[in-house]
């Protein structure tokens, strides 16, 4: 892979003073188009890999949380029935 600084150095820099308002932008050369395509393609590939990695990580965390907090067939203890005496005191 090429270094990003080398790619950016190959692209000529234009200041706002060089181009009049309403004037058309200069047509880039074939080499400039290839450099720009290479730069944006590399960034998109890195972004896609990062999103895929995040999705896989979140899926694993979700599965871990579900396994941790699931009851796993354990029955909840039944509440003891209240005595009639307890109801009258309230």
Would you tell me how many other CB atoms lie within 10 Å of the CB of residue 35? Answer: 19
Average pLDDT, the chain: 77
Q: Is residue 80 part of a domain?
A: no
Quickly list DSSP for 62-81. Answer: HHHHHHHHS-TTPPPPPPPP
Distance separating alpha carbons of residues 42 and 4, to the nearest angstrom: 9
Task: Write out pLDDT tens, residues 74-85.
Answer: 666 677 777 777
Average pLDDT over residues 15-31: 72
Pairwise pLDDT comparison (5 vs 29), residue with the higher score: 29
Considering the entire predicted model, what is its pTM? 0.40
Q: Is residue 17 part of a domain?
A: no
Q: Is residue 85 part of a domain?
A: no
Overall number of domains in the chain: 1
**Which of 44, 31, 37, 36 is CA-nearest to residue 8?**
36
Average pLDDT over residues 68-77: 71
Q: Is residue 34 part of a domain?
A: yes
Q: Is residue 37 part of a domain?
A: yes
Question: What pLDDT sits at residue 51?
Answer: 94
Checking if the pLDDT of 72 tops 70, the result is: no
Domain boundaries, position 49: 30-68
| Residue 29 token pair | 């050369």
Q: Is residue 56 part of a domain?
A: yes
Q: Is residue 63 part of a domain?
A: yes
């Amino acid at each position: 892979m090429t270094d990003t600084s080398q790619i950016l150095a190959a692209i000529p820099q234009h200041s706002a003073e060089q181009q009049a308002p309403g004037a058309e932008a200069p047509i880039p050369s074939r080499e400039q188009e290839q450099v720009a395509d290479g730069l944006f393609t590399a960034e998109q590939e890195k972004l896609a890999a990062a999103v895929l990695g995040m999705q896989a990580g979140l899926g694993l965390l979700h599965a871990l949380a579900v396994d941790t907090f699931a009851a796993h067939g354990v029955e909840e203890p039944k509440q003891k029935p209240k005595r009639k005496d307890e109801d009258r005191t309230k």
